[in-house]
Structure 1
Amino acid sequence: MWVPEKHRTTWEFYLGWQPELQTKMRNFLVNARNTGTVPNMIGWHNLGPSPGDVPETLSRYYRPLENELGIPGRPLPVVIEEHGSGGAKDFEGVPGSMIKHWAEFERYNVDHAMMGIYTNPGLLGNTLRRTSAGLKPNAGWQMMAWYKAMTGTRVDVSRWDTRRYLASDGVASWDDELRTVQILVGGEDNDVDVRVLGLARRGLTAVTNARIGGFRWNEFPDKVGGIDLPDSAVEFAVEAPMTGTYRLEVGYANGTTTTSTHQMYVNGAAAGTVSYPSTGAWFDGPTQDRAGRVAPVTVQLNAGTNRIRLQKGVGYAELDYAELKKTDA
């Protein structure tokens, strides 16, 4: 649609408490209402260090303006076209900085938001790092991957430290099918206490297992090490859509000079060996960027949930991830 220049505000920075910007938004909405061109969603830029700018503008200025003007279809979905700290070029790569913005977007039902990507060209908005082995994800990328992987429905998170506005914050979800609460927390250098309430109302009254993961800015996330004793093992569940042959790819590092192995068990039965040729480095070593490789192995799975156990064999290996793929066999 064509909009007169004086009413073109959706591309601009918007803070509702600034009279000039509020007047521009008012003019835009009045014109859209009067000409029958109300957009399907409304968006604005919001670069700045404070995660509270968007909820303040949204709840105290924009939503009341929609109601005052009687905008059809209100409340319109809100899109934050650009957010971040602005001056700090590494903002998007710092999980603790990002998550405080995400938490506020979740609380105030922002439809979706986009980070700034124009600093440090080629690094996907500062979420990649340059290494001797090429571009590698940093902790900001990994935090976004965790956020993307959250399943289920949103769970309310209360900011527990109200003494300092820019203290830690978080996002959470509940997956009813998996009976799992997923929580991402960050924002400060020191330890953070997280209280999870209402588990009994979710039916979690017996044994509850907790998995806690974290990562530094430039390290591989969630490596599993210490598989060093004869009975040391990693066990996890996988879902197979049908009975058949699958390819299991295990990301690993083997900093020794010889091939290491794990004994594999599927649903309690011995199912062969996974071999890990030397990578020449561990995940947290000085040459960690060359550490990660993939060890493939074929497994027979039943339709539904299967439990796979990787138990220490010969030598030593650290594990990064396991990915399941259906074969043609």
Structure 2
Amino acid sequence: MHHPLKRTLARLSAVALLVGAAVAGAAVPASAAGLTLTVDVGQVVRPATQVAAGGLYGVGSDSQPTTAMLLPLNPTSFTQPAPGTTHLGNGATEPCCDSLDVGDNITRAGAQQFIRMPDIYPSFPYVWQGWTDWETKVRNQVNARLADTDMTNVHGWELWNEPDWTWSSAAGTFNDGWTRTYRLVDSLDPVTPIVGPSWAQYNHDRMLSFMTNAKNTNTVPDVIVWHELDDMNWDAFDDHVADYRAIETSLGISPRPIAINEYNSYNQMDIPSVAMHWMAAFERHGAREAHRAYWFEAGTFDGLFTLQNQPTASYWLYRWYGAMTGNMVKTTAHSWLDGMSSYDSSRKIVNVVFGGDWGDNTVRVNGLGALGSSVKVELRYTPGSGRNTAVTAPTLVSTTTMTTSGGSISVPVAGMNAEGAYQLIVTPAGGPTTSWQQVYEAENNTVVNALTRASSSASNGFYVGNIDNDTDMRSDSFVDFTVNVPTARSYTMTIRYANGTGATSTHGLAYNGGAWSTVSYPPTAGWAQFSTTTVTVTLKAGYNVIRLAKGSPNFAGGTGYAELDSITLA
């Protein structure tokens, strides 16, 4: 997080940046038209998990944004300030966004959160007040979190923020400060992951020094965090990842998940196509999660909503992204024309979100054999109108029927605007195979204290295993499925599971914060060898969150063990 008054960059024309400015880490397009973005539906990249659908200070209160506003975006995670925060970010007149105060809203939206510990201080950059003061603040934060025994969504303590320019020399070196703070937090809460070092910018020498010290002192973060905030520098992300992985290998450290909990620059925060470039880079190069930066107002999901709670142009980009289900598939950029794509085999929907260049261009989609010889193609557009302009709906540009050739189509996109973003939906000619989503893959949903694994016997190639823990709210294992149903009624829910224990196992089942019941899983042929069981759930119209849990607050805990592949509502 940066205070714009302290680090304002000269406001450059987005047009000049996108068309003619030479920017480090990004190539200038050779021409502004005649480009082809290529999508290969048959080349799976990873399960669709909305890697980049997160925000720093994105949630302001239990109702700002409302849960109903958050759910269609399918948010993955947020970074929120410390319990008891006094922080006044970006000119705010009173603190907001306390991680424990907003936690229930985040949970209802199916997301997780990091707690940013130094945002207990009122100002930024932070004013160091001595080790006694800091360690008292740390203890108070951790104890407040431990006392909140219903809060299941804290998946990391962020020990410091941007030490490359906020760490005080009066506190000694940052590496020593990290070690001392890590050991204190770990002594109070040895369960919750510790994340960092949260550099403002990736730097090889700093990261090598930090990781060497962390290994030598047994204080290696569970999740590696840094920020990506430079103008138009998304092309550098893969280099940063490769450099960091090489450091891990050189030090003999096992691979850590990577989280970018601030991305996009102050200058270009609200240009949809710029956000799209960052999102595509994070999906393509292996980030586990990424959060929109907090440059302006808190509680607006960092500009996805206006201060009047209306959607902005960028909202529709993230709404399209939030609708991605099944698997992310390979998308190949052409100059600055880029995007990300998903394929849901249960409904036969290809969802392509793209943009980044001007003029008349093309999206070529390969691997459409399963959709038949004729497909329906819908093209939508959201403009580059910024954070203060409400956009009530995207523009439907066209709806056409196209004949595939060798399982491929080439879709012309005329008169592209490089600041806006586009969505291409491809389905069989008669539309998706079901009018609403009925199959929900476990790996697409909120997986807490469990692991996503690959298997050819899983319905989408992936499933969730190691759902093993039922000790307390920090380590409980569960999957939260966010589902969207057309009417309020009872639904038959078929759970596809595996149970290799040789005896019947159980999970707890609850939805929308309601009472717990028990689901029984008879033994299957082995682990990752799936069968089904059926239960009835009574859901409200629209979005619902269904939890299947080995352990969860107010639930005594499941028996034995089971793996989850998917649920189907009918």
Instruction: Classify the TM-score, shorter chain.
Output: 0.5 to 0.7
CA distance in 1, matches of 2:215, 2:299: 41
1:176-255 correspondence runs (5 A):
176-200=345-369, 203-216=370-383, 217=385, 218-222=390-394, 238-239=435-436
Partner of 1:51: 234
**Which SS does the other structure have where 1:66 is aligned?**
helix
Work out whether residues 157 and 172 of structure 1, in 8 Å CA contact, stay in contact via their aligned partners in 2.
Answer: yes
8 Å Cα contact 1:240-1:303 kept in structure 2: no
What does the per-residue CA deviation read over 1:159-204, in whole Å, with 9 as the maximum and x for residues that have no partner? Answer: 123xxxxx1210001111111111000123434311111222xx23
Deviations 1:256-305 (A, max 9, x none): xxxxxxxxxxxxxxxxxxxxxxxxxxxxxxxxxxxxxxxxx99999989x
SS at match of 1:36: coil
CA distance in 2, matches of 1:122, 1:240: 29
Q: For residues 106-132 of structure 1, what are the alpha-carbon distances to aligned partners after superposition, in whole Å with 9 as ceiling and x for unaligned?
A: 1101111111123245643222335xx
2:174 pairs with 1:6 = yes
1:24 is aligned to 2:192: no
Identity of matched residues, %: 24
Pairing 1:172–2:341 present: yes
Counterpart-to-counterpart distance in 1, 2:436 and 2:300: 34
> Is the Cα contact below 8 Å between 1:46 and 1:84 reproduced in 2?
yes
SS at match of 1:23: helix
Q: Distance in 2 between matches of 1:214 and 1:109?
A: 27
CA spacing shift, 1:182–1:298, aligned 2, 3 Å: closer
Aligned equivalent of 1:267 = none
Segments of 5+ residues of structure 2 without an aligned counterpart are: 1-156, 161-171, 179-195, 398-430, 439-485, 494-539, 544-570
Look up the match of 1:314: none
Check whether the contact 1:93–1:141 (CA below 8 A) recurs between aligned residues. Answer: no
> 2-side partners of 1:239 and 1:25: how far apart?
46
Q: Is the 8 A contact 2:316 2:394 kept in 1?
A: no
Moved more, 38-47 or 6-15: 6-15
* TM-score, length of structure 1 as denominator length: 0.59
Q: Please name the residue that 1:18 is paired with.
A: none
Partner of 1:81: 261
Aligned to 2:220: 38
Instruction: State the Cα distance separating 1:136 from its structure 2 match.
Output: 1.4
C-alpha separation in 1, matches of 2:224 and 2:313: 31
CA-to-aligned-CA distance 1:49-100 (integer Å, 9 cap, x gap) = 11112212112x21111111111x22x11111211123x1xx3332111001
Equivalent residues, number: 224
**TM-score (normalizing by structure 2):** 0.35
The structural deviation recorded for 1:324 is: 4.5
Partner Cα separation in structure 2 for residue 240 and residue 180 of structure 1: 10
> Is 2:317–2:382's contact at 8 Å kept on the other side of the alignment?
no
Shift in CA distance, 85/213, structure 1 to aligned 2, threshold 3 Å: same
Give the Cα separation in 2 of the matches to 1:204 and 1:168. 25
Match of 1:147 in 2: 321
How many Å separate the matches in 2 of 1:68 and 1:139? 44
Match of 1:159 in 2: 333
Q: RMSD of aligned C-alpha atoms? A: 3.5
What is residue 274 of structure 2 aligned with on the other side?
Answer: 97
Matches of 1:83 and 1:240 in 2, distance apart? 31
Counterparts in 2 of 1:220 and 1:5: CA distance versus 1, 3 Å:
same
CA offsets 1:232-259 (integer angstroms, 9 cap, x no match): xxx9964498xxxxxxxxxxxxxxxxxx
Letter in 2 for 1:12: W
Letter in 1 for 2:376: N
Match of residue 292 from structure 2: 115
CA distance in 1 between counterparts of 2:393 and 2:361 reads 19
Provide closer, same or farther for how the CA distance between residues 83 and 298 of structure 1 changes in structure 2, counting only shifts above 3 A: closer
Structure 2 CA distance for aligned equivalents of residues 123 and 240 of structure 1: 28
Higher relative contact order (CA 8 A, sep 6+): 2
Letter paired with 2:226: W
* Matched-pair contact (CA < 8 Å) for 2:211–2:220: yes
Measure, in 1, the Cα distance between the counterparts of 2:315 and 2:377.
23
For residues 201 and 437 of structure 2, the distance between their equivalents in structure 1, rounded to whole angstroms, comes to: 48
SS state at 1:106 partner: helix
Cα distance in 2, alignment partners of residues 120 and 210 from structure 1 = 37
Q: Distance in 2 between matches of 1:82 and 1:299?
A: 38
Q: Provide closer, same or farther for how the CA distance between residues 105 and 302 of structure 1 changes in structure 2, counting only shifts above 3 A.
A: closer
